[in-house]
Amino acid sequence: MPKMKTDISELTVANGETLVWGARTYVMGIINVTPDSFSGDGLSGDVNAVVDRALRIEEDGADILDIGAESTRPSHRKITLKEELVRLIPALEAVAARVRLPISVDTSKAVVAQHAIESGAVIINDISGLRTDPKLAQIAANAGTGLILMHNQQGTQYDNLLPDITASLQNSINTAVISGIPRNNIIIDPGIGFGKTPDQNIELLAGLNELQTLRCPILVGSSRKSTIGLLLNLPVQQRMEGTAATVALAISGGADIVRVHDVKEMVRVCRVTDAIVHGWRPPGWKQS
């Protein structure tokens, strides 16, 4: 396999820019190729629908596309390696042929990651932080892809929430670096909703800036999560405003990427927040 780029910041996004951490927030649009997504937007088995969704996400202004073929909702049904590949690869190949966005694949299996890279993925999004299949790190290192490492654990017991999450993510980073992944190819995700109570999710978002000590770009995936539903007493399809609040606050706390379902609306939230937090201005900006 030919060596790919060795710096994730060199990935070209759809509008011709490159990823420059700290300049603005990058929006990752979600496609679930599953029948049991918690958000109710799964597209299992319908490749044409997946491509249509990907094209719409691109048109709505996303910078990165994230495709996953196994649900991670609470009490989700685990699927076999074969089943994940059958769901994922035809959809991924079809999307890669039509969409200009960098594609991330949500998987914790090394074999799936290998097939995904061969089919067009340039980022691997591992919700286990290399704990499910450490061989995945070597796959990403050999290909030169980006690697997202998420904090995840069984249960919700912590001695001290933010320091414990930081230490766990540092261990995942160390595993990745030892495997040969350049540090500038690593993105961290604190794992909103994974091994955390609603109160812990709120505490994590409030203290997100503490993760900046790890010196990696930060991804936050709070979109439509159950904590928002509990706070507002709303079903999953009515959590856009709550998601918008978490996105704006995550950017203020240091998030570099936000992973969202409602791309068009969250791009708008990001740009206004970026103008305040990062000094971002749109091309051709003129003060009246």
Query: Is 109 among the residues known to form the active site?
Result: no
Query: Is 53 among the residues known to form the active site?
Result: no
Give CB contacts under 8 A, 24+ apart, made by 96-99. 96/120, 96/121, 98/51, 98/54, 98/55, 99/51, 99/54, 99/55, 99/58, 99/65
Asked if residues 86 and 65 have their Cβ atoms less than 8 Å apart, the reply is no
One-letter amino acid at 199 equals D
- Active site residue: 53, 87, 225, 239, which one? 225
Asked if residues 53 and 78 have their Cβ atoms less than 8 Å apart, the reply is no
User: Cα–Cα distance between 30 and 23 in angstroms, integer?
Assistant: 22
Asked if residues 23 and 57 have their Cβ atoms less than 8 Å apart, the reply is no
Tokens of 253: 């706390």
- Active site residue: 135, 259, 268, 286, which one? 259
Active site residues: 225, 259
